[in-house]
Amino acid sequence: MHKRNRRTPRRLRPYQTQMLDKTDMFSDASVFGMAKHTLTGNIKRHRGFPSKVLGNRRDVLVYLPPGYRRFSRRRYSVLYLHDGQNVFDAATSFSGIEWGVDETAERLIRKKLIEPLIIVAIANTGEDRIHEYAPTGGVIDAKAKRRKRSRGLARQYGQFLIEELKPYIDKKYRTKREAEFTGLGGSSLGALVTLAIGILFPDAFNRLIVMSPSIWWDDFAIYRLVDMMEKKPPLKIWLDTGTAEPGWEQARVLLDQLIEKGWRLDVDLTYLEVEGADHSEAAWAARVGPALRFLFPPTARM
């Protein structure tokens, strides 16, 4: 049994969903002088979703695929993505560059190249990101005079996803709730926490997008976590890196580790090295399509 975070959570007001259509969200942008929103498709917004486990709140955006109808009985696979500010919207993304997951999903679904799926973008919490995405309590900046350490809350963040957010999404939307239909993904530290949560909670998420993972974290703590696995969990993994990223060769070591543990290339593991690609939102956006096609291929029902 996994232990809960023992920190006393801040008092949270009862949560009320705020569903905003694209018109409402564009209005928000004009009021606050933000860049123009770039949302595509049917996207719902849940403001300030609370967590008792972590003692904080964050915004969550939910993309519903073409064909999602209120009175239908059809259920859908779900992909949860970290750093939700960067997933759908240039107005909120880092340096104004988004992943374009909504546009890519719309195109691939309409061309029947992937199954229709629900995509949940989970915003990070700014300064707490380094704590929530870190699987261990490593040093945040080794070059700093005062070495601050992460609290290593990846396990608690995983509990937030599994015990608080996922049950809400499963109740609010018509999802396929089983782990085999549920994915998790991210880049950089978001990729690191994705793989860590996949290993720690294999009964919750079976499809992982691991883009440019921060393998260097805490003296390669992820290598140790993989080594500790006694049995290969039922995870299907997309792993990639760009050759212009510092330390990109570390991904090859991780690949070899996974293969040694029983993963099979092009069956339940795909690995991609992109020549000249750097560590950026634009680089990851270019790889969203192939990752979705590997993890969510079209089904017979389509």
pLDDT at 142: 63
- Residue type at position 196: A
- What residues are paired with 236 via a beta bridge? 207
Tens digit of each residue's pLDDT (9 = 90 or more) over 224-249: 999 999 999 999 999 999 999 999 99
The encoded tokens of residue 99 equal 């992943």
> Percentage of the chain with pLDDT > 70?
85
Secondary structure letter of residue 49 according to DSSP: E
Structural domain boundaries in the chain:
38-295
Tens digit of each residue's pLDDT (9 = 90 or more) over 138-191: 887 766 566 688 899 999 999 999 999 999 999 999 999 999 999 999 999 999
62-88 in b/e burial notation, b at 16+ Cβ within 10 A? bbbbeebeeeeeeebbbbbbbbbbbbb
pTM of the predicted model, to two decimals?
A: 0.88
| Position 12 pLDDT exceeds 50 | no
Quickly list H helices, the chain: 22-32, 101-110, 129-132, 154-159, 166-172, 189-200, 217-227, 250-260, 281-285, 288-295
Q: ∠ CA 292-296-299 to the nearest 5 degrees?
A: 140
The encoded tokens of residue 19 equal 């569903």
The full length of the chain comes to: 302
Cβ–Cβ under 8 Å, residues 27 and 49: no
- Residue type at position 248: W
- Going by pLDDT thresholds of 50, 70 and 90, the confidence category of residue 9 is very low
pLDDT at 300: 66
Tens digit of each residue's pLDDT (9 = 90 or more) over 87-137: 999 999 987 899 999 999 999 999 999 999 999 999 999 989 999 999 999
Task: Name the range with the highest mean pLDDT among 19-28, 36-45, 270-279.
Answer: 270-279
Residue 148 neighbours by CB under 8 Å, 6+ apart: 139, 140, 141
Tens digit of each residue's pLDDT (9 = 90 or more) over 42-87: 999 999 999 999 999 999 999 999 999 988 999 999 999 999 999 9
How far is it, in rounded angstroms, from Cα 295 to Cα 152?
A: 28
Fold observed for domain 38-295: Rossmann fold (3.40.50)
